[in-house]
C-alpha cells in the first residue's frame, strides 16, 4: 500500500497543465487565470474627493472667513482644473480635485451664500482626499496565474482595465458510477438499491474546483456495459469511476479498464477511508478509480482528485492543512493513515486554535456524518492514543472547497 503523500505526488507528476483560452470578462466566473493580470491603469487616476463638500487649500482656511467658489467638480466633470488663490471649488464624492487643492471641507461644516462660502472649522492637509493610486497603480500585478476567479477577483480585473481574460480551458472530467444496485436520484428503487450520491458529489466538487464534469451515468456490474461507458471517456482529460475498486468478484472496473489497455500506476493506499483507490492511464486519459463507499469516495476526491484538477489548471496542489486542538481523546491508529470526520466546537483559549470533536461513528458508508463535518483530522499511521488537548493536523473541508 502506498503512502498518501506519495500517491498524491505520483498523480500530480503524471499530469500536465491544460491549454489556455481567452474569455470575455462576463464569462470569467469560476475560471482559473492562465497568466498574471497587471493593472492597466491607476486607481484613482488622480486625487479625488472622499466626500461631498468643498476642495480647498488647507492653509487658506480661516474659520468664519468668506472665500469665493470658483466652480463645481462632479465625478466625471472637472470644471475647475486649477484652484485660483483664495478660492475653493464645490466638489462631490469621487470627483477629481483641482490642481493645488489639498483638502476637502465637509458641506455639513460650510455656510454657503451664493458664490461665497465660509467654514466653521480649520482644515487639515489631505483631509477627505483620496490620493492618486490609493487603490492600485498601473503595472501592479493584481491577480496571479492560477487564481480561481470569484466575484471579487472579477471585479478587480474589471477595475484594472481587463475586458477579456486569459484562462485555462476547463479540464473535462468524466464521472462513471458503477454497480447493479446504484440508481440515479429520481429512478425507481428496488429492495437493496442505493442512490448514486457519489456522482452528485463528484460533479459538484469538479465544478467548484474549476473543471467540467461529464456525466457518464451508471454502469451495471457487467463487462459490456462497463466497456461501453469507459469508451465514452476517451476524449476527456480524466475518467473518475466510483465503486468496484475492491476485491469482490463483481468489482469489474479494473478488469474492464485493463482490457481497454489501462496502464496501472498504483492500486491501494495506506489510508482510511479510501484504501482501494486506483490510478492509471488509458491512452491520453488519466483514470482515478474511487471506492464506492460515499465517505471514501469524497475523502479520496478531497485528497487526490482536487490535487489532480489543480495540477491540470496550473495551480498549487498542496492540501490545505492547518492545526487544531482535539476536544476529545483520540484512539491509537493502525498502519493506515486515518482521516477522521470532526466538527469545530469552539476555540482553545490557550492557543487560539479551533477545538475539534471527532464524530462518534466513522463508518465509511455514513455520508450524513461527513455532510455535517467541518474538517478531517489526520491521524498518522501507528499514532499512539492521544489525550484531549493534543495538537492535531486537520483539513478544513470548506477551505478545500468540499
Ligand atoms: N474482502 C475485502 N473487502 C473489502 C475490502 C478489502 O480490502 N477486502 N475493502 C473495503 C473497503 S476499505 C472499501 S472502501 C470498499 C470499497 O469497495 P468498492 O470500491 O468495490 O465499492 P462497491 O463494493 O462497489 O461499493 C461499496 C459501497 O458503496 C456503495 N456505492 C457504490 N457506488 C455508489 C454511488 N455512486 N453512490 C453511493 N453509494 C455507492 C455501494 O452500494 C456499497 O454499499 O470495499 C470494502 N470491501
Ligand atoms: O477504505 Mo474503506 O473506505 O475503509 O471503507
179/222 same-domain check: yes
Q: What is d(CA 373, CA 371) in angstroms, rounded to the nearest whole number? A: 6
Q: What is d(CA 117, CA 65) in angstroms, rounded to the nearest whole number? A: 8
**Spatial CA neighbour of 55 closest among 77, 82, 33:** 82
Q: What is the pLDDT of residue 329?
A: 95
- Does the ipTM surpass 0.95? yes
Q: Could you read off the pLDDT of 45-92 as tens digits, one per residue?
A: 999 999 999 999 999 999 999 999 999 999 999 999 999 999 999 999
List the residue whose alpha carbon is closest to atom 4 of ligand 2.
273
273 prior amide bond cis, ω within 30: yes
Confidence tier at 255 by pLDDT (50, 70, 90): confident
Q: Could you read off the pLDDT of 116-145 as tens digits, one per residue?
A: 999 999 999 999 999 999 999 999 999 999
Q: Which ligand is nearest to the CA of 295?
A: 2
Q: What is the pLDDT of residue 250?
A: 60
The enclosing domain of 270 has a CATH number of 3.40.980.10
246/302 same-domain check: yes
Q: What is the pLDDT of residue 202?
A: 98
195/93 same-domain check: no
**Spatial CA neighbour of 34 closest among 154, 166, 156:** 166
How far does the centroid of ligand 1 lie from the alpha carbon of residue 49, in Å? 64
Q: What is the pTM of this model?
A: 0.91
Tell me which of 81, 102, 130 is where a domain ends: 130
270/204 same-domain check: yes
Q: Could you read off the pLDDT of 285-310 as tens digits, one per residue?
A: 999 999 999 999 999 999 999 999 99
123/244 same-domain check: no
**Spatial CA neighbour of 70 closest among 94, 54, 47:** 54
299/184 same-domain check: yes
Residue 238 located in a structural domain:
yes
How far does the centroid of ligand 1 lie from the alpha carbon of residue 211, in Å? 26
Residue 402 located in a structural domain:
no
Confidence tier at 249 by pLDDT (50, 70, 90): low
Residue 294 located in a structural domain:
yes
Q: Looking at the 3D structure of the chain, how many domains does it have? A: 4
208: which 3 cell numbers?
A: 467548484
Which atom of ligand 2 is found nearest the CA of 276? 1
Q: What is d(CA 74, CA 52) in angstroms, rounded to the nearest whole number? A: 9
Computed from CA positions of residues 181, 278, 383, 351, in that sequence, does the dihedral angle turn out positive or negative? negative
Bigger pLDDT: 73 vs 253: 73
The pLDDT of 153-168, averaged and rounded, is 98
How far does the centroid of ligand 2 lie from the alpha carbon of residue 282, in Å? 25
192/251 same-domain check: yes
161/228 same-domain check: no
* b/e code 363-390 from CB counts within 10 Å (16+ = b): ebebbebbeebbbbbbbebebeebeeeb
104/145 same-domain check: no
211/271 same-domain check: yes
Q: What is d(CA 289, CA 241) in angstroms, rounded to the nearest whole number? A: 5
pLDDT at 385 over 80: yes
252/220 same-domain check: yes
Structural domain range at position 373: 321-396
Residues comprising the chain, all counted: 402
Q: Could you read off the pLDDT of 336-365 as tens digits, one per residue?
A: 999 999 999 999 999 999 999 999 999 999
Residue 401 located in a structural domain:
no
Measure CA 78 to chain center.
Answer: 41
Q: Could you read off the pLDDT of 363-383 as tens digits, one per residue?
A: 999 999 999 999 999 999 999
11/143 same-domain check: no
Amino acid at each position: 500500500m502506498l503512502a498518501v503523500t506519495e500517491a498524491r505526488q505520483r498523480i500530480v507528476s503524471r499530469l500536465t497543465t491544460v491549454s489556455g483560452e481567452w474569455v470575455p470578462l462576463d464569462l470569467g466566473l469560476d475560471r482559473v487565470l492562465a497568466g498574471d493580470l497587471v493593472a492597466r491603469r491607476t486607481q484613482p487616476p488622480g486625487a479625488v474627493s472622499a466626500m461631498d463638500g468643498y476642495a480647498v487649500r488647507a492653509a487658506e482656511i480661516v474659520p468664519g472667513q468668506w472665500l469665493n467658489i470658483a466652480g463645481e467638480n462632479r465625478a466625471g466633470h472637472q470644471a475647475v482644473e486649477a484652484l485660483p488663490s483664495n478660492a475653493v471649488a464645490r466638489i462631490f464624492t469621487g470627483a477629481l480635485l483641482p490642481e493645488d487643492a489639498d483638502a476637502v471641507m465637509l458641506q455639513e461644516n460650510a455656510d454657503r451664500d451664493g458664490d461665497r462660502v465660509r467654514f466653521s472649522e480649520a482644515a487639515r492637509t489631505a483631509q477627505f482626499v483620496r490620493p492618486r493610486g490609493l487603490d492600485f497603480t498601473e503595472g501592479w500585478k493584481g491577480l496571479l496565474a492560477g487564481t480561481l476567479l470569484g466575484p471579487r477577483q472579477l471585479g478587480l480585473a474589471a477595475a484594472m482595465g481587463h475586458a477579456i481574460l486569459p484562462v485555462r480551458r476547463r479540464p473535462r472530467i468524466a464521472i462513471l458510477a458503477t454497480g447493479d444496485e446504484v440508481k440515479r436520484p429520481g429512478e425507481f428503487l428496488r429492495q437493496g438499491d442505493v442512490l448514486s450520491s457519489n456522482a452528485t458529489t463528484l460533479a459538484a466538487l469538479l465544478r467548484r474546483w474549476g473543471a467540467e464534469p461529464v456525466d457518464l451515468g451508471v454502469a451495471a456490474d457487467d463487462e459490456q456495459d462497463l466497456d461501453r461507458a469507459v469508451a465514452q471517456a476517451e476524449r476527456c482529460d480524466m475518467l473518475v469511476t466510483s465503486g468496484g475498486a475492491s476485491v469482490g468478484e463483481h468489482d469489474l472496473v479494473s478488469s474492464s479498464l485493463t482490457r481497454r489497455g489501462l496502464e496501472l500506476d498504483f492500486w491501494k493506499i495506506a489510508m482510511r477511508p479510501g484504501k482501494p483507490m486506483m490510478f492509471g492511464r488509458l491512452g491520453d486519459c488519466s483514470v482515478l478509480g474511487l471506492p464506492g463507499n460515499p465517505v471514501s469516495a469524497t475523502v479520496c476526491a478531497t485528497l487526490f482528485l482536487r490535487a489532480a484538477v489543480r495540477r491540470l489548471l496550473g495551480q498549487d496542489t498542496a492540501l490545505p492543512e492547518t492545526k487544531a486542538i482535539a476536544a476529545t481523546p483520540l484512539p491509537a491508529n493502525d498502519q493506515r493513515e486515518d482521516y477522521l470526520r470532526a466538527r469545530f466546537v469552539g476555540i482553545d483559549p490557550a492557543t487560539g486554535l479551533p477545538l475539534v470533536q471527532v464524530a462518534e461513528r466513522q463508518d465509511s458508508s455514513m455520508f450524513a456524518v461527513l455532510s455535517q463535518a467541518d474538517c478531517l483530522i489526520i491521524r498518522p499511521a501507528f499514532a499512539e492514543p492521544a489525550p484531549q488537548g493534543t495538537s492535531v493536523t486537520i483539513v478544513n473541508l470548506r477551505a478545500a472547497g468540499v
